Amino acid sequence: KAGVTQTPRYLIKTRGQQVTLSCSPISGHRSVSWYQQTPGQGLQFLFEYFSETQRNKGNFPGRFSGRQFSNSRSEMNVSTLELGDSALYLCASSFKGGAQNIQYFGAGTRLSVL
Amino acid sequence: QQQVKQSPQSLIVQKGGISIINCAYENTAFDYFPWYQQFPGKGPALLIAIRPDVSEKKEGRFTISFNKSAKQFSLHIMDSQPGDSATYFCAARRGAGSYQLTFGKGTKLSVIP
């Protein structure tokens, strides 16, 4: 079974631009969560989707948004990029009802904002 | 407000030794406590997890000890190996039906030969 796939792996943008990151969950998984990882703040929860519905949202500004499609693939968008948005963005998928609701993480998209 | 506090920030252990990482939480609504291992360039991978109705769980060389009254839990890595060198994160999940995890800030473990 293929793991969680995130594209692109690396991205360089400039301040003020917007960016879209993509996540393909493990086949059969309907829940997708996004996290931001930085050296200073660690792993912070962005949002969680299940069956195309956002179930939870972390404490991030409205510039951060996401969506989930009917095939469970998910995208997150960051508008008006700031230098502080430079981070590793991780996507995790879960199978609802699976043992211990394990979240499987992708390798992440490393975003650099110049 | 950091809801899961993890220590130490970094840890150096000799091969064959025991690595111990500690976490403390504040929210009593947390009901699931996983530990993740992350290697450079990779996403975190689930190592072992425990629920608060169990005081200890062991899987191979990895053991979680859980103290519900103290709101603390720890990861013990027995017979630590250089291949265990990675960053370890404790986490907590609030309530069934949600997959949202609150993570500790991580411990960088280095196992030296």
Determine if residue B16 is left, alpha or beta; phi over 0 gives left, psi from -120 to 50 gives alpha, anything else beta: left
Q: Are A82 and A65 in contact (CB under 8 A)?
A: no
Interface test with B, best of A47, A55, A103, A104 (most B CBs within 10 A): A103
Q: Do A56 and B98 touch (CB under 8 A)?
A: yes
B43 closest CB neighbour out of A41, A101, A107: A107
Identify the sign of the CA torsion A78, A109, A101, A43: negative
Q: How far is A82 from chain B (nearest CA, A)?
A: 23
Tell me the HSE value of B86 on the side-chain side, using a 13 A CA sphere: 20
In a structure prediction context, what are the per-residue pLDDT tens digits for chain A, which is 114 residues long?
679 999 999 999 999 999 999 999 999 999 999 999 999 899 999 999 998 999 889 999 999 999 999 999 999 999 999 999 999 999 999 886 555 568 899 999 999 999
Q: B71-108, pLDDT tens digit by residue?
A: 999 999 999 999 999 999 999 998 766 778 999 999 99
Of the candidates B42, B43, B99, the beta carbon closest to that of A94 is on B99
The HSE-up count of residue A30 (CA atoms within 13 Å, CB side) is 11
Contacts of A5 in chain B (CB under 8 A): none
